[in-house]
Structure 1
Amino acid sequence: MQEPTSQEELTRQRDRTESYLKADPNNKQLLTRAIELNLALSNPAGAEPHALAAVAAFPHDPMIVCLQAHVFAAQQRWSQAAPIYAGLLAQISDPDLAFSLATCQVWLGQHQAALDTMAPFERAPDLPAATVTLLVRAYHHVGKLDRAIELIEHNEARLATDPVFMAAASMAYIDSNKGADAVRMSAAALAHGERPIEALVVSATLCLENADADGALAQFQEALALNPQEGRIWNGLGMANLLKQDFATAEQQLERASELMPTHIATWNALGWCRLMSNRLPEADVAFARSLELDRNLSETHGSIALVAALRGDRSVAEAALQRAMRLNPQCVSGTVARMALDGQLGDIERFRATTLKATAGRKNLFGVEFSDIALRVLDAEKRRASNAAPPAD
């Protein structure tokens, strides 16, 4: 029998099936069909009573039990679906079951467990696009970017028209500092009207790199509507509003990012700079201290602490922190700004803000742990302007 394709046909099929069930409520074929049709109509709430009835009538039927897990998954009840899939997978080695379980594990934040689940099937030829995408995301999340990139390169020719795969690939590339590949993948993912979340985030990040705050905001806000619990989107919104000098909004967004990503050092540093540019030095110090707790060997954090100390006039603390920053990285951007503050070269608050906003706008600060290299060029230009403006010596 040919499957119905339109919503109207599916609805008619569902209604007719449910009417038959009233006369024969324990008919396994009808229960199965009612569940499948409701899921096809994106109506898991309508499928649930049929799933409960089916499991009650046929508790040991693997297909029925699997359908109940599908209903839970469609309702995003991952913690209820996962053990059902795991139990079935223990009995039946099946790649589709493994994918269903791994999907639950990813949504539960169990990325390594998802990779372990998929390991027996990962090397199979011609994996479905959804499976490859899940693997790319999971490897990315656990920090195995080389393996994620390997999967992308192996499958790109075959999956180049799949926007979700291309979007996940764009995120892996940008976090691997492969900007050209990230641009290419993001553009391809967005080329035909689809709006996958990773491609939006990458495209917005590239807007930030080009100091296009409005373009970044529009795409980060669109991404936020798709997943309001994604910390890096809140981070990006905060960075874009920093660029627009809307410090109050930026601070709220960066605080939300820090709640969702409490160990993300770049977010704490960005929050500190946001407070610093609002001339709230004690609050800035709190954010930088949190960064220091997470990693005591990051030059930018020590440089930022030096800058706060310099601005509040505590020269000895500033010099000590600056020494640590420059020992860790002689090209430390925040340390360079701190030295300018100690030497009285920052000028008025507007110039200081313009300089530091440049330092917080780029991709490395958004997704990594260092400020954008562009800041060094900006600071060099500021120094040259100051030197050219100085009166000639007698």
Structure 2
Amino acid sequence: MMTEFNQRLSQLQAYLAADPANPHLLLELADLHLQAGNQNEHEAALQRLFAAAPGHFGGRSLQGVALMRQGRLDEAVAVFQALRDEAWEEPALFYNLAYALMLQGRYEEAEPQAARASKSSALLPQAGPLHVRALHFLGRLEDAILVAETALRQFPEHLSLYGLLATLYLDQENLAAAERVARQVLELSPSDPDAATVLGMLALSKQDLTVASPLLRLACASKPNSGRAQMGLGLVSMLEGKLDEAESSVAQALHSMPGHVGSWHVLAWCRILSNRPAEAKEALLEALRLDRNFADTHGGLAIVAIMEGHLQEAQQSARRALGLNPDSFPGQYAQSLLLQSAGQAEQARLIHERLLNSAVLPDGTKLNEAVARAMALSSF
């Protein structure tokens, strides 16, 4: 039985036999091979197209998309930017340029391009979510929420935006709204990764692993590169005491979001709980490189210093952590260890070992539970 690809390929070849220099047919042929993953055939069709119509807009745009798929992002951006410099105003061009820039982490440059593309959301439903994500990456949470809510009033059928909105509400610490919207999304689209992640993280913050685990696994299956969902699975494993599995999931999360400071913190906690202070310090120093003014990084470094018996260094880091944020959990934990140690390095080591072995803080909360709750509700 002839496949849909073979059927369309046969038709195009027949049409091109009669009209071999037809740009429209050649563009469709190049796109057909691109979608099928036939790189050589795709490039050959593009060469025929450019020979027939030098500088063809559609062909150059498709060339940029192909470069993106190959991971050749600098070249893709150059292709799209050249078209922009020629004053082309096609919404898909703005979208493709924004997408390529975001893949490079160039969110400031991507956001205005995504904004231009989102003005044509009726034609490009994916443009609205891209703009919201660009604003989210820039930390412009209120703007992202406003754009999402406005777009949904105009296009309520764009379900992917609801999942994003639930994520934004979660990062805004509007937990009731996050849960309400996420539940609505999953009723209409049961495999939506953003909504599943939000509900999974909310369940995780309540230590409800029977609810959190399947939701986060669903999110990872629907969106394998979701760093947040992978982080959630890492926290589930941490709560289960499976520190090797936790560290593996956190490493996958960091592959997707290497610039997320909190993920480096969780990696450090996996290593602290495994009594590997030197490796924990490596993760914390990476977090420090990303943001020198994050209280929890300095608190973590204080805990590591205590584990290594460097109490003066620990005191300096703990003071810095609590100066930046008096409510910093690692900072407070380090301070409590320092108070108990009374300046005795060996006593500090014994106290820390005892706490690690019992894994219980003075208020009865398990150490891994405190870490998981803090991270589940932290802003991404």
Question: Is TM > 0.5 for Structure 1 vs Structure 2?
Answer: yes
SS of residue in 2 equivalent to 1:16: helix
Residues 311, 266 of structure 1: alpha-carbon distance in 2 compared, 3 angstrom cutoff? same
Q: Does residue 36 of structure 2 align to residue 43 of structure 1?
A: yes
> Which residue does the alignment assign to 1:84?
79
- Cα distance in 1 between the residues matched to 2:248 and 2:237: 10
Q: Which amino acid aligns with 1:349?
A: N
SS of residue in 1 equivalent to 2:275: coil
- Cα distance in 1 between the residues matched to 2:18 and 2:375: 64
Instruction: Quote how far apart the aligned CAs of 1:93 are.
Output: 2.2
Instruction: Quote how far apart the aligned CAs of 1:179 are.
Output: 2.1
1:1-394 residue pairs with structure 2 within 5 A? 12-22=7-17, 24-35=19-30, 42-43=35-36, 45=38, 47-69=42-64, 78-89=73-84, 90-118=86-114, 128-193=124-189, 195-213=191-209, 215-225=211-221, 228-258=224-254, 260-311=256-307, 313-341=309-337, 342-343=339-340, 349-352=357-360, 355-362=366-373, 364=375, 367-368=378-379
- Cα distance in 1 between the residues matched to 2:265 and 2:122: 43
Residues 184, 281 of structure 1: alpha-carbon distance in 2 compared, 3 angstrom cutoff? same
Normalised to the residue count of structure 2, the TM-score between the two structures is: 0.78
Tell me if structure 1 keeps the 8 A contact 2:298–2:320.
yes
Q: Which amino acid aligns with 2:372?
A: A
Q: Indicate the structure (1 or 2) with the bigger Cα radius of gyration.
A: 1
Tell me if structure 2 keeps the 8 A contact 1:159–1:165.
no
Q: Which amino acid aligns with 1:133?
A: P
Tell me if structure 1 keeps the 8 A contact 2:216–2:232.
yes
SS of residue in 1 equivalent to 2:105: coil
SS of residue in 1 equivalent to 2:188: coil
Residues 258, 366 of structure 1: alpha-carbon distance in 2 compared, 3 angstrom cutoff? farther
- Cα distance in 1 between the residues matched to 2:44 and 2:371: 52
SS of residue in 2 equivalent to 1:26: coil
Tell me if structure 2 keeps the 8 A contact 1:258–1:268.
yes
Provide structure 1 residue ranges, at least 5 long, that are not aligned to the other structure.
1-6, 370-394
Residues 295, 56 of structure 1: alpha-carbon distance in 2 compared, 3 angstrom cutoff? same
Instruction: Quote how far apart the aligned CAs of 1:223 are.
Output: 3.9
Tell me if structure 2 keeps the 8 A contact 1:223–1:233.
yes
Q: Which amino acid aligns with 1:269?
A: H
Instruction: Quote how far apart the aligned CAs of 1:148 are.
Output: 0.8
Normalised to the residue count of structure 1, the TM-score between the two structures is: 0.75
SS of residue in 1 equivalent to 2:360: helix
Residues 186, 79 of structure 1: alpha-carbon distance in 2 compared, 3 angstrom cutoff? farther
Tell me the matched-pair count.
361
- Cα distance in 1 between the residues matched to 2:42 and 2:72: 14
Residues 75, 203 of structure 1: alpha-carbon distance in 2 compared, 3 angstrom cutoff? farther
Residues 323, 78 of structure 1: alpha-carbon distance in 2 compared, 3 angstrom cutoff? closer
- Cα distance in 2 between the residues matched to 1:160 and 1:119: 19
- Cα distance in 1 between the residues matched to 2:58 and 2:267: 51
- Cα distance in 1 between the residues matched to 2:206 and 2:123: 37
Tell me if structure 1 keeps the 8 A contact 2:170–2:377.
no
- Cα distance in 2 between the residues matched to 1:120 and 1:351: 52
SS of residue in 1 equivalent to 2:366: helix
Give percent identity, aligned residues only: 28
SS of residue in 2 equivalent to 1:91: coil
Farther-moved stretch of structure 1 (270-279 vs 169-178): 169-178
Instruction: Quote how far apart the aligned CAs of 1:137 are.
Output: 0.8
Instruction: Quote how far apart the aligned CAs of 1:135 are.
Output: 0.8
Residues 197, 105 of structure 1: alpha-carbon distance in 2 compared, 3 angstrom cutoff? farther
Tell me if structure 1 keeps the 8 A contact 2:163–2:181.
yes
Tell me if structure 1 keeps the 8 A contact 2:296–2:330.
yes
Q: Which amino acid aligns with 1:19?
A: A
- Cα distance in 2 between the residues matched to 1:67 and 1:317: 56
Residues 17, 194 of structure 1: alpha-carbon distance in 2 compared, 3 angstrom cutoff? farther
Residues 124, 319 of structure 1: alpha-carbon distance in 2 compared, 3 angstrom cutoff? same
Instruction: Quote how far apart the aligned CAs of 1:37 are.
Output: 5.5
Q: Which amino acid aligns with 1:359?
A: A
Tell me if structure 2 keeps the 8 A contact 1:149–1:172.
yes
Instruction: Quote how far apart the aligned CAs of 1:335 are.
Output: 3.3
Residues 154, 229 of structure 1: alpha-carbon distance in 2 compared, 3 angstrom cutoff? closer
- Cα distance in 2 between the residues matched to 1:347 and 1:275: 15
Provide structure 2 residue ranges, at least 5 long, that are not aligned to the other structure.
341-350
Q: Which amino acid aligns with 1:43?
A: A
Q: Which amino acid aligns with 1:350?
A: S
Farther-moved stretch of structure 1 (239-248 vs 75-84): 75-84
- Cα distance in 1 between the residues matched to 2:359 and 2:31: 63
- Cα distance in 2 between the residues matched to 1:28 and 1:82: 24
> Which residue does the alignment assign to 2:343?
none
